[in-house]
Structure 1
Amino acid sequence: MTPGEGGGARSYPVELISLIGQSLARLVRAPSHSRRAVASRRWALHMLLLSAVLATAIAILMVAIDAFEIGLMPKRGTPSLWPVKIFTDFGKAAYVLWTLAALMIMVALLLPRLRGVSRAAMIGIGTRVQFVFLAVLAPVIAGEVLKGVIGRGRPFVGGAANPFNFATFSWDEAYSSLPSGHATVAFALAFAVSALFPRLRTFMLAYAIAIAVSRLVLLAHHPSDVVAGALLGTIGALAVRYWFAARRLAFAIRPDGAIEPLPGPSWDRVKRVARDAVAP
């Protein structure tokens, strides 16, 4: 979101449309950060290393672990699994993305009512919500394409715990096991939130791992599926973070190419902004 002090004569709908347009323009503008090349090389190196390590892990799991692990899980429909069924929905793409979309809409609707420092603080909040939304959305879209192309059968599709049951380009839900969508969402969300708020890194990592484990317990995926989802979600969120940093949005690039979050509004400032937004 971007500042745009509207004139007093402008109506609320006109100013709302103007602010949304400015926000989108900032998001798609050409990168301007002088250190973006260094950050790009650093991101590419991290992506290659992460991909190499996890791709090796996926291959090992597929050959040696997947079928064995399935046999250790409780049967589908086990009554005691109801808490796991509830918890796993916290990694469902539709729920996470619609929640973030609702937050963006809320920010957009409140922004035209604010001026000065309050508007600037709300813009900072909106930019960070945009980042988290796109950091989840990008890998989710990529994951849906990969699922259809790869066509890996879910556990016991075809009657056996066969980790090599593939129907490429099937675009069938039964053959959409690789990568795990829930793991993709969970690890993308964990990375995005941790990138903005490093103190939450341990909590968000625990959340992502718990979501991934829930997919195994419910026999929705093989272990290699959730590792692939973790890889896709992390790489996708890394790419979106670089996109924002290169445009000086929410992140700064250090001289060594490392990307770090820009200081955000304090909680006291957020509360004051909220009061200003709802004040008559």
Structure 2
Amino acid sequence: MVLISLFLLNKKKREWILPLGLSIVFSYLITYILKFITARPRPLGIIKIMPLTNFVDYSFPSSHAAVAFAALPILNKTYPKLKLLWILSACFVAFSRIYIGVHYLSDVVAGSLIGYLTSLFIIKLKERKWKLTGLR
């Protein structure tokens, strides 16, 4: 909600709300599908620690890391002065998934790459649309 507010408050940046939303949604969907294809158990399931949640799902790749890194390219493009904050925030989310024991490092790296690359793809689609329609 805070991110959406940043875009709503600035008329010039509102055009990035849809690409941001699409990047997040597609990153989540890709990781969700891959979780069931790979069916990799979470570290908690292997070492028999009580999970922090009561639902059962798989570990690879990390959806949290994917969503955090999906926002990065668009946030860096629209608010470049806050680039360090965006990077640190995404890295904090990714690290926290390992720290609390719900993901392996490879889960987080894969999720981060999926999110980041998905967002770059959405940005390219947006820029290509501009060229075809003559916008900006």
TM-score, normalised with respect to structure 2: 0.79
Tell me which residue corresponds to 1:225: 107
Q: CA deviation at 1:141?
A: 1.1
1:127 matches 2:9: no
Q: Does the aligned pair in 2 maintain the 1:179–1:226 contact within 8 Å?
A: yes
Q: 2: distance between equivalents of 1:233 and 1:224?
A: 14
Contact 2:69 2:115 in 1 (8 A): yes
- Alignment match, 2:87: 205
Other structure's SS at 2:130 match: coil
- Equivalence map 1:244-263=2 (5 Å): 244-248=126-130
How many residues are paired up?
Answer: 124
Asked whether the equivalents of residues 27 and 63 of structure 2 are also in contact (C-alpha less than 8 Å), the reply is no
Identical columns (%): 25
C-alpha deviation, 1:199, in angstroms = 2.1
Task: Point out 4+ residue stretches in structure 1 off by more than 6 angstroms.
Answer: none
**Larger helix share, 1 or 2:** 2
Tell me, what secondary structure is at the counterpart of 1:188? helix
CA RMSD, Structure 1 to Structure 2 (Å): 2.6
Bigger CA radius of gyration: 1
Checking the alignment, whether the CA contact within 8 Å between 1:147 and 1:176 is kept in structure 2 is yes
Give unpaired runs (5+ residues) of structure 2. 50-54
| Cα 1:129/1:100, change in 2 over 3 Å | farther
Counterpart CA distance in 2 for 1:135 and 1:196 is 15
Of 8, 26, 33, the match for 1:138: 26
TM-score normalised to structure 1 length: 0.40
Q: Are the counterparts in 1 of residues 27 and 70 from structure 2 also a CA contact under 8 Å?
A: yes
- 1:178-230 Cα distance to aligned partner (Å, 9 max, x none): 11011001111122211222222211110011111111111110111100111
Over 3 Å counting, the alpha-carbon distance change for 1:195 and 1:125 in structure 2 is closer
1:149 equivalent among 29, 37, 60: 37
Give the aligned partner of residue 180 of structure 1.
62
What one-letter code is carried by the residue in structure 1 that aligns with 2:72?
A
Gap runs ≥5 in structure 1? 1-98, 108-120, 162-172, 250-261, 263-280
Per-residue CA deviations over 1:124-164 (Å, capped at 9, x if unaligned) read 44312112111211111111111111111000314469xxx
Letter in 2 for 1:145: I
Q: Is the 8 A contact 2:69 2:112 kept in 1?
A: yes
State which of 45, 59, 72 in structure 2 corresponds to 1:190.
Answer: 72
